[in-house]
Structure 1
Amino acid sequence: MPPKPSMKYKKLSFIVQNLFVRYPRNMGETIRETSNICLNCRNWISSSIASYCQICGECIKSKTNSFLDNSSLGKNNWWIWIVFTVIFIVVWQVIGSLPLVGFCRLLKTGTVAGYSCSLDELVITGASKAPNFLLMHITFVIGAASFYFFLKILHNKNLLKVLTERIRFDYKRSLFALSIFFLFAIIPLTATLLTNSSELKLRGDITDLLLITLIALIFVPIQASLEEAFFRGYLLQGFSLLFKSRVLILIITSSIFACLHLMNPEPWSYGVGTYLISVFLVGMFMGLITLIDGGIELAAGIHIANNLWVHLIVGLEDSVIPSSSLFITTNQNLDMVPTIISSMSQYALLTVVFAFRYKWFSKLKKYPTL
């Protein structure tokens, strides 16, 4: 029989095998913080969706939902959540709007190069909507920077763990969701145009549209992703520390999402009740697919696609961020029942598509508590 390896040999073998393994800074961190490494046997997990270590059988992911489990990482004192939320909103909405306010103050003496601005409404008007469109989106860039900075400073959280349960952000998921949304939106638009409906009016300002398109392709993903990171990432995980019911945290975060949209001009132009219900349903749908899929990638893709569609294809007369969309809707009244039925049907169809694409049914069968 071959001689048994000595303890010294075992230690040397362990060191060599784990030489290139990235150990967590704090061994007290949960295994979810380094979900690509088994903290029991130090084996490198080959799959980012593996539930158990192939070597020792240690559970790598929670059987409930590791995306929500990520909320336990970092500092989670109750006052930190409140301080972060207040500081983030102030920096995002107040400090973030300073470039727009400053530009409006430059124009307060009169019209400059054909542009003027009202300090009451903070909307720059002139030959092109591009300056106003750009400055309003700078707000979200400042907000995104503050979100990342204060998340690290106050919570000591990894941004990735707030966004997804995967070991890296899955951009392919976002692109797939964006593509599917545009496909579903183009079909009814084509039907409306073929019926010669008077609901849509062609703007025809192609030059300004092209300029805004360039700006939108850069800044709209930042804007939409920031909102998803806050509502479907930060707040979902935060309320999961208080409540065990996923239905309840979906209702709470969706209600906050809907109420904050009351600051926009759209609800006061198209009906507060219908608008609030529509935004609430959007929030519920986004939150649902985030919980099932384990990340905000799909929700971010849909949010980006929706905002690009409104800014570039079919816009509203009274919009919080005016743009030069190709078409503008002339329908000023939104009927509640048809709007709800249409929204629910679209969300159900999208859910089915995502479920088959990412095998949600097998995931729910394996983890019925999701």
Structure 2
Amino acid sequence: WWTWIVFTVIFIIVWQVVGSLPLVGFCWLLKIVRVAGYSCSLEELVITGPSKAPNFLLMHTAFLIGAASFYFFLKILHNKNLLKVLTERIRFDYKRSLFGLSIFFLFAVIPLAATLLTDSSELKLRGDIPDLLLITLIALIFVPIQAGLEEAFFRGYLLQGFSLLFKSRVLILIITSLLFAFLHLMNPEPWSYGVGTYLISVFLVGMFMGLITLIDGGIELAVGIHIANNLWVHLIVGLEDSAIPSSSLFITTNQNLDMVPTIIFSMSQYTLLTLVFAFKYKWFDKLKKYAPL
């Protein structure tokens, strides 16, 4: 069990600390060399300027470094094949990820269309198309790495690790989802939109992702949904205060997240998604073979 603790501590340090060094280095460079219109705050580690693309790219390098360290330490400390952490199938099922991505986009487009047709006062069109196109190219490369890394760690590695300590899958889901939620406290969103509501929202995401991972026997669907969610936030509808600023097509002007409506909407969406996946992949037949949670 100690190797799981050592792995987790070292991995998080490399991911969060070493992974931020390229951004820190570029910030120091901007202090020495003037680049037209660009500046960087070493306290907030955010590059501001004519384009959000440099900051967007450098913030995502942390996930690239994190992914490399995840693979490396998995081999060194566990002598374990990466595939064994990702799925119980003989190969990673990319079609499942694509299906999860597509369904999530469908579920996101419908409310957006309804909002635009009825009351678009909460949405503001940015109109910075050139920067959006540049960020889109970067996002299509780096967002799958970001989402894949987080799912591999939380819904792959940690789910397996805690299963060595606890027999209850419900308890394992709760623990990993709490860790997933509290890690997101480092983002600016909870402090701008309400810590309680934000934590519950992220916790519910973690529970949903963990549940479909346990039932389906792999993180493929969770990876697809995670990629779709991040692409949506970066490219379609973004927040004014975001962990990774981008030039999304729209920005929401709603600064308040009411807890009860947020929970009801999230639970409804996750229930419908679970039912879609259950019918698609015949989960009801598989659940009959499971021991009680």
Q: CA deviation at 1:110?
A: 6.7
Q: CA deviation at 1:109?
A: 3.8
For 1:244, the equivalent position in structure 2 comes to 167
Q: Give the number of the structure whose alpha-carbon radius of gyration is greater.
A: 1
Q: Does 1:353 align with 2:271?
A: no
For 1:100, the equivalent position in structure 2 comes to 23
4+ residue segments displaced more than 6 Å: none
For 2:144, the equivalent position in structure 1 comes to 221
- SS at structure 2 position matched to 1:366: coil
Distance in 2 (alpha carbons) for counterparts of 1:244 and 1:135: 41
For 1:306, the equivalent position in structure 2 comes to 229
Q: Does 1:134 align with 2:63?
A: no
Conservation of the 8 A alpha-carbon contact between 1:108 and 1:118: no
Q: CA deviation at 1:369?
A: 4.4
User: What's the Cα RMSD here?
Assistant: 1.0
For 2:100, the equivalent position in structure 1 comes to 177
Q: Given residue 202 of structure 1, which amino acid in structure 2 is its aligned partner?
A: L
Distance in 2 (alpha carbons) for counterparts of 1:314 and 1:187: 13
Distance in 2 (alpha carbons) for counterparts of 1:139 and 1:331: 29
Distance in 1 (alpha carbons) for counterparts of 2:259 and 2:289: 38
Distance in 2 (alpha carbons) for counterparts of 1:275 and 1:196: 24
Identical amino acids, percent of aligned pairs? 90
Decide which of 174, 183, 194 is 1:260's aligned counterpart.
183
Conservation of the 8 A alpha-carbon contact between 1:110 and 1:116: no
Q: CA deviation at 1:79?
A: 1.7
Distance in 2 (alpha carbons) for counterparts of 1:158 and 1:369: 29
Structure 2 length normalisation: TM-score? 0.98
For 1:194, the equivalent position in structure 2 comes to 117
- SS at structure 2 position matched to 1:201: strand
Distance in 1 (alpha carbons) for counterparts of 2:256 and 2:222: 27
Q: CA deviation at 1:83?
A: 1.0
Structure 1 length normalisation: TM-score? 0.78
Q: Tell which deviates more after alignment, 266-275 or 114-123.
A: 114-123
Q: Does 1:115 align with 2:38?
A: yes
Q: CA deviation at 1:326?
A: 0.1
Q: Give deviations 1:224-257, integer Å, cap 9, x for gaps.
A: 0100000000000000000000000000000000
Q: CA deviation at 1:287?
A: 0.2
Distance in 2 (alpha carbons) for counterparts of 1:280 and 1:125: 31
Q: Given residue 204 of structure 2, which amino acid in structure 1 is its aligned partner?
A: L
Distance in 2 (alpha carbons) for counterparts of 1:197 and 1:322: 22
**Structure 1 residues 356, 250: closer, same or farther in 2, change over 3 A?**
same
Q: How many residues align?
A: 293
Gaps of 5+ in 2: none
Q: CA deviation at 1:366?
A: 3.4
